[in-house]
Amino acid sequence: MPGKHAYDTRGNSLFGIVRPCTHRLGERFKAEWMAHLCGLCLALRGDHGQFARIVTNYDGLLVSVLTEAQSGPAPGARRTAGPCPLRGMRTASVAQGEGARLAAAVSLVLASAKVRDHVADRDGLLARAPIAAAARKVARGWDRAGARTGASLGFDTAVLVDAVDRQAGIETLAGPGTPVLVVTEPTETATAAAFAHTAQLAGRPGNAPALAEAGRYFGRLAHLLDAVEDQGADAVAGAWNPLTATGTSLTEARRLCDDALHGIRLALREVEFTDAGLAHRLLVHELRTSVDRSFGTSSCGHTATASAGQGGNPYAGGPAVDPYGANPYGGNPYAPNAPQAPGGPGMPPPMGPGGGGGGGGLPPQRPRRGLLAGCAVAIGLFCTCQMCCTEYEGPWSRERREPLCDGEDCCDGCDCCSNCGCDDCCCCPCDGC
């Protein structure tokens, strides 16, 4: 997040460039990933209050993942968190400890930089002086809070603040012919410092150089992918974009991203892990998927093989036609092999008993929620992608539901898993990793 286009979370701090979908993660990695995501959120709440939870982001949890991957699951590394609306009011096992707290500190400082950047650009409501003043006050509080938590963990957040401060000057001087990597350098430096410090927390200081290298490449990707995704909108808005400003073509940007992916794989080989499973999945396989998605070359097996798998008809038994058109979830948005909808193949099942929202006609195991309570839970599930990317509880029926994008099997016949040691199909080439 140093600078306008670093660590940008697309206007919603929950997201990031590593946005895995659970059909690829499998049960084991899905549970671990959710534990770290919820752990980061709760660490922010525990150390800095409820409001700080809005800076939770998918990329920040990588710090927690890397810490645990090196140290292994220590006693007390998990705790059972209480019901949360973002989990469909279910309890969950969540990560806790120094890794989650470092992730929280880094997320706060980088979020503070993003807020100040938007204030400086007078974006949206921040063009109004009273709102801008309030935003600056929040940013200063996050800076201080992140610095306090970082100091308690032996991490000096000044390296992050310095990167933010240098970014603006670099962008001012950049022009046609300036190497785009000059612009991405502050982001690389910030992420390298955060990744490297996980080695200290895990008691494996020898891993620090390799993790710093992986962090530099990850920061480069974060900056470049955001620039690629924003370039069209920035051109319309007249906003500064590193690719446009430096005259860097998309072809060159893709080459740099592919080089960074390769660099991360090589760097991770030098790291001594106790259990590299989730870290490898996120930083090798899911990161490649992120690059493909940003450049419009993403090809996920569960959409590509819809007609050969569960079928294009989401209710089965009909022609292989997707009635949802360009459905991002590639086929059945409800459960596989669902019965024919009463309204026909082009209509979703009705809500209520016997329909998609009522548990398929089965008697509810718990009392149904009322209209308003169910609406509140549904809004939380939709806004946080819980319906899409993780098992959830029906907002009204309270029945356990599978994620809407959970296809049958995303494997497209690759033998990647035998090469990299993943536990299940990873659906993306690993080039001999």
Q: What is the pLDDT of residues 376-403, one digit of tens each?
A: 787 777 666 565 556 677 777 777 776 6
Say how far apart CA 154 and CA 193 lie, in whole Å. Answer: 12
pLDDT tier, 276 (very low <50, low <70, confident <90, very high otherwise):
very high
Its domain, for residue 217, covers 22-294
For residue 30, the one-letter residue type is K
| Residue labelled with tokens 């940007």 | 253
Rg for the chain (alpha carbons), in Å? 22
Q: How many CB atoms lie within 10 A of CB 181?
A: 15
pTM here? 0.69
272 inside domain? yes
Residue 61 has pLDDT above 60, yes or no: yes
Say how far apart CA 94 and CA 78 lie, in whole Å. Answer: 5
203 inside domain? yes
Say how far apart CA 306 and CA 333 lie, in whole Å. Answer: 12
Domain count, the chain: 1
**Is 287 in contact with 302 (CB distance < 8 Å)?**
no
429 inside domain? no
pLDDT tier, 130 (very low <50, low <70, confident <90, very high otherwise):
confident
Say how far apart CA 61 and CA 107 lie, in whole Å. Answer: 9
409 inside domain? no
153 inside domain? yes
CATH of residue 91: 1.10.600.10
79 inside domain? yes
* Average pLDDT, integer, range 317-341: 37
Q: What's the pLDDT at 298?
A: 61
98 inside domain? yes
Residues making up the chain, counted from first to last: 433
Q: What's the pLDDT at 73?
A: 76
